[in-house]
Amino acid sequence: MQFTLSINQVKSLEWGLNSQQALLFAFVYSCPSWTTPVKTENGIFFALSKAKIVEELPLLTDKPDTAYRMLKALEEAGLIDLSSTANITLFRLTKKAAEWNKKEDGSEKYPTTPTSKGRKKIRSTSDKSPSKVGKKSEQGSDKSPTNQDTSNQDTNQDTSHSFPEGSDKPIQSGALVLVVDRAEAPRVEIPADMPGPKDQTCKTFKVWANYAMAYRKRYSAWPVWNAKVGGQLGQLVDRLGADVAHHVAAHFLKTSDAAVLRKCHSLNELLANAESYHTQWVTGQRINGTTARQMERTEANHSAAEQAAQMVLAKRQAGDRNEYL
């Protein structure tokens, strides 16, 4: 949990941030000094899970979805750019955000270190940032913890970055589900026994790898690969786009609807309702039979209330007309 956060009230007012958004941005601003950098097609981002925000900022919120909505508000304010893998949020600071830590003369109050190389240099020469960042502090050091005043020294974001049993260790600490760059190796080493395509340039490799890894995590077994599966995944990429199809495929495995569970998260179901699962991934919702019935009851109650109000209004208007007859 973060002990201390410095909020620039002048910039918060200038940028139109409320107190919660300012609190979150003060935390996000410090994250590049210790979070895991992730290379994407759009440049370097940093991994920051919603669960990590909840863990570090209990005063802000205890709901991951609320934390994500606040991140979106910071993006709308032009302070951060957001991206994501199949199960982790990525961010990077914008040029505008750099003004948060500027003095009146334009210099930085506490110079940041945007690259990992720069961070290593500072950690090796500064008493305030010991070189053994990411490990627990020695006894008695809690009053001045590392990682920008946080007492959680395990900064590899174990909150939500654990790997499924039986999978190989990651190349570096970070997100569970694969982040595949066409020119780079996957962030998670592909197990040799995973069926399906091994060529990373293959159209279906990325979506299959995410689906298969998420499937094995849930069922402790690999899904079946055959020509039909390959064709279905190709159709999924065509319908949703290569940039998001793998996200939706991994999110699909989180669905706990009885009809989907009975079919062991068959690709038939995913392909048949691809756009629906895309919406659930975008909104962070998981709609099953129970939630659908609840939504239906809520809508029915709302409609009934509207009808009752209309009947009362109609009777009142009829009574007013009778007074003049």
pLDDT single digits (tens) 261-304: 899 999 999 999 999 889 888 887 765 556 656 656 666 666 66
Regarding whether 203 and 302 lie in a shared domain, the answer is: no
> Tens digits of per-residue pLDDT, 177-218?
444 433 344 556 788 899 998 888 889 999 999 999 999 999
Domain boundary among the residues 114, 149, 184 is at 149
Number of Cβ atoms within 10 Å of the Cβ of 67: 22
Q: Is residue 16 part of a domain?
A: yes
Tell me the three state secondary structure of residue 16.
coil
Same domain, 250 and 299: no
pLDDT in tens, 125-146: 444 444 444 444 444 444 444 4
Q: Note whether residue 159 is domain-resident.
A: no
The answer to whether 1 and 151 have CB atoms below 8 angstroms apart is yes
The HSE-up count of residue 39 (CA atoms within 13 Å, CB side) is 11
**Residue 197, in any domain of the structure:** yes
Q: Are residues 126 and 108 in the same domain?
A: yes
pLDDT in tens, 95-118: 999 889 765 555 555 454 444 444
H or E element: which one contains 279?
A: helix 274-283
pTM of the model: 0.37
Per the structure, how many domains does the chain have?
A: 3
The answer on 64 and 25 residing in a single domain is yes
State residue 102 phi and psi, 5-degree precision. Answer: -95, 145
Per the CB < 8 A criterion, the answer to whether 10 and 22 are in contact is no
Residue 162 lies in a domain: no
- Using the predicted structure, report yes or no on whether residue 12 has a pLDDT greater than 60: yes
User: Residue 243 phi/psi, 5° resolution?
Assistant: -80, -20
Handedness of CA 169, 173, 176, 178 (dihedral sign): negative
Q: Name the domain boundary from 134, 149, 164.
A: 149
Residue 160 belongs to a domain: no
The type of residue at 204 is T
Whether residue 21 is found in the same domain as residue 127: yes
Same domain, yes or no, for 281 and 322? Answer: no
pLDDT by residue (tens digit) across 152-168?
Answer: 444 444 444 443 444 44
Residue 114 counted as domain residue: yes
The Cα-based distances of 254 to 129, 179, 246, 257, 281 in angstroms read 39, 18, 13, 9, 10
Nearest to 60 by CA among 77, 79, 47, 73: 73
The answer on 269 and 196 residing in a single domain is yes
Q: Is the same domain home to 240 and 189?
A: yes
Claim to verify: residue 117 and residue 213 sit in the same structural domain: no
DSSP codes, 235-256: HHHHHH-TTTHHHHHHHHTT--
Last residue of a domain, one of 95, 114, 149: 149
| Same domain, residue pair 143 and 237 | no
**Domain check: are 211 and 248 in the same one?**
yes
pLDDT at position 226 over 90: yes
* Domain interval for residue 310: 293-325
- What is the domain-level CATH number for residue 17? 1.10.10.10
DSSP secondary structure string for all residues of 176-191: SS----TTS--SSPPP
* pLDDT per residue as tens digits for the range 190-201: 888 999 988 888
Q: Is 248 contained in some domain? A: yes
| Per-residue pLDDT at 319 | 64
Give the pLDDT band of residue 147 (cuts 50, 70, 90). Answer: very low
Same domain, 226 and 319: no
Q: Is residue 158 one of the residues assigned to a domain? A: no
